[in-house]
Chains A and B, each alone.
Chain A
Amino acid sequence: MNWPVAIPLLVFLIVVFAVGIYASKRIQQAPVFLQEYFLGSRELGGLMLAMTMVATYGSASSFIGGPGVAYTVGFGWVLLAMSQLVTGYFTLSVLGKKFAIMARKIKAVTLVDFVKERYQSKWVVLLSSASIIMFMFAIMAAQWIGGGRLIQAVTGLSYTAALFIFAVVVLVYVAIGGFRAVAITDTIQGIVMFFGTILILIGTIVAGGGVSNIISELAAENPNLLTPYGHEQQLSAIYVSSFWILVGVGVVGLPQVAVRAMAYKSSQAMHRALIIGTIVVGLIMLGMHLVGVFGRAVVPGIEVGDTVMPTIAMEVLPAWLAGVVLAAPMAAIMSTVDSLLLLVSSSIVKDVYVNYIKPEATEQTVKRLSITITAVLGLIVFFMAVNPPDFLIWLNLYAFGGLQAAFIWPIIMGLYWKKGNKYGALASIIVGVSTYILFDLFWKNPLGMHGVVLPIVLGFIGYVAASLLTQHRTMAQQQEVVSRFWGA
């Protein structure tokens, strides 16, 4: 066991664990259990809101996968990654106060609550919950695998043992602490990610003998590394630009991000989060991907992309500091997993059980059920991650774009277009998700863009067309919805 590196990592795990226990105390005192467990009683302040958004969104791919690709591809991939700067301010500006206000009007606790009240349709609810449960499960498992591998690489434990440690920590604090525990730990994790990024960037530049030196080594190896087009000139401008949809503005359609836009305390918190979030996202994305590119000159010849970050950290920093820095990807993984776990659990408990199976369930039952389901879900994900089945890996490829294709229009148009109705929402979910999967199977990168772009466009057309065509059928219902959601 590599103790100097492992100790800071273990200390980090213990701190996170302790915070979860602390947050669970708040649940006992909260007036409304569901609001507290799944939304932290809508009390997020600015820093917490910013950090929980950044941390939820910044996953294993920002810290492990992304830098690994940048190592191979060069500056073109950093350019692509910087399209994420927009998520910091765009999501909160667009969902913004409107979503927070509407969610409060109808007392929504989950994204599906919003969808349910806005569209008044059982089918929209079931389809939304199914997409959330299915895709989130896949993303979660992939992240757990990343978490296990990272602990394994750093400490030398076996994969299963590493995964077990990871799972126990995350499970306990999420299951008993709920959203508040997730938000507080996300804040700590976000701060670790922020400073970890700065540390490793500086360490890499110093180890490489300065930026100019690193750049000339890269130029000597392959000048294409310095261009926006990638090491084999494989990145076209339109392909890279289309990532502004997938990882930029499309992020408003991700349920785990959207739900945070209804959990903040005040406008002031939102304003502060906008600024902090933009700076933190920008710095992490820029810094981590630059480390990947610079790392090529500092530690050449790394074969497996996913090991680039840990290898560089252990190479350029003193062991104990590498341990601190490697807590950053660990934090990124944990903070994504914890939010997803809670989201899936809320989908089952609130959206399916309380809505359709047993609306008269008592507070006590719901409480016990929420904690149990969260824990059981975690265990299922754990066993899946120990020996990941193929369909899960397959599903994970579609998860990010699939969620966006499903939810972006029901959310955005639901907020901004009074004529949007349940047929529109159904059409856009079905068209969006199915064309996304079909394009991937039969027409990769249509028109040179990432596969998510066209399905989002088609989903929009579907939403508008279906809503307009069925206006006469939903007149009465729409009037009621409009006065509830838009009325003064």
Chain B
Amino acid sequence: MADKPNSDQGLDTKFQEDPRFKVSHREAIIGIVIAVANFMWWFAFAYGLGSKPVEEYTYILGLPAWFFFSCVLGFVVFSCIVFLAVKFFYKEVPLDDDQGGGLK
């Protein structure tokens, strides 16, 4: 699992980045993408449907439609997205370091 040497740090060329960090970087990006999508969903439904005068509101399961879509459905949808993302994109890596850090 050799990693490419990290040259932009001015370190000696033997430096190898921990290969597990590739996995963690990918997962951090997935987390950010889901968060951005979650925000857009939440915002679009809340203020897209909720800005109308109250007399024009429609209701789903008794709740104002903007609230139902934004908060109730949004909660369900994003729980499912998180579930699927974890199942398919998150990788299992060992957390312990075999060299044990060595420096302390």
Which residues of A are at the interface with B, using a C-beta cutoff of 8 A? Answer: 75, 78-79, 82-83, 85-86, 88-90, 92-94, 96-98, 100-101, 104-107, 210-215, 219, 223-224, 226-229, 237, 241, 244, 248-249, 266-268, 271, 274-275, 278-279, 282-283, 286, 416, 418-419, 475, 479, 482-484, 486-488
Contacts and interface: CB of A to CB of B under 8 A. Distances in A.
A267 B47 contact: no
Contacts, number: 172
Nearest to A471: B10
Contacts of A248: 35
B31 A282 contact: no
B101 A104 contact: yes
Contacts of A106: 101, 103-104
Interface residues of B, number: 61
A33 B67 CA distance: 49
Interface of B: 3, 6, 9-11, 15-21, 23-25, 27-28, 30-32, 34-35, 38-39, 42-43, 46-47, 50-51, 54-55, 57, 59, 61-64, 66-67, 70-72, 74-75, 78-79, 82-83, 86, 90-97, 101, 103-104
A274 B79 CA distance: 10
A78 B71 contact: yes
Nearest to A278: B82
Contacts of A92: 31
A302 to B, nearest CB: 22
Given A211-B62, A215-B59, A486-B6, 16 more contacts: A89-B82, A92-B31, A96-B24, A227-B50, A228-B66, A228-B67, A266-B94, A267-B91, A268-B92, A271-B90, A282-B78, A482-B9, A483-B11, A487-B15, A487-B18, A488-B16
B79 A93 contact: no
A164 B38 CA distance: 43
A85 B59 contact: no
Given A274-B86, A488-B3, A82 B42 contact: yes
B47 A237 contact: yes
B93 A97 contact: yes
B62 A487 contact: no
Contacts of B66: 228
26 contacts: A79-B70, A82-B42, A89-B31, A98-B25, A98-B28, A101-B21, A211-B62, A226-B57, A227-B50, A227-B64, A228-B46, A228-B67, A229-B50, A237-B43, A237-B47, A241-B39, A267-B93, A271-B92, A274-B86, A278-B78, A283-B75, A416-B28, A419-B9, A475-B10, A486-B15, A486-B17
A268 B87 CA distance: 10
B37 to A, nearest CB: 10
B64 A215 contact: yes
B82 A88 contact: yes
A90 B83 contact: no
Contacts of B11: 479, 482-483
Contact of A101 (B18, B51, B78): B18
A392 to B, nearest CB: 34
A223 B91 CA distance: 48
Contact of A210 (B42, B51, B62): B62
Contacts of B74: 82, 85
A79 B46 contact: yes
- Counting from the closest, the 3 A-B pairs by CB-CB distance are A93-B31, A211-B62, A212-B62
A155 to B, nearest CB: 34
Nearest to A275: B83
B79 A279 contact: yes
Q: Which residue of B3, B31, B91 has the most chain A CB atoms within 10 A of its CB atom?
A: B31
A94 B28 contact: yes
A226 B63 CA distance: 9
B24 A98 contact: yes
B92 to A, nearest CB: 4
B6 to A, nearest CB: 8
B63 A82 contact: no
Q: Which residue of A93, A100, A214, A266 has the most chain B CB atoms within 10 A of its CB atom?
A: A93
Contacts of A267: 90-95
B71 A79 contact: yes
A97 B23 contact: yes
Contacts of B57: 226
A244 B46 CA distance: 14
A228 B43 CA distance: 10
A105 B24 CA distance: 15
Given A75-B67, A96-B24, A482-B11, A85 B38 contact: yes
Given A78-B67, A85-B38, A104-B101, A278 B79 contact: yes
A269 to B, nearest CB: 9
Contact of A97 (B6, B20, B38): B20
A486 B18 contact: yes
Nearest to B76: A282
B16 A249 contact: no
A101 B97 contact: yes
A85 to B, nearest CB: 6
Given A241-B43, A282-B75, A483-B11, A97 B67 contact: no
Contacts of B79: 275, 278-279, 282
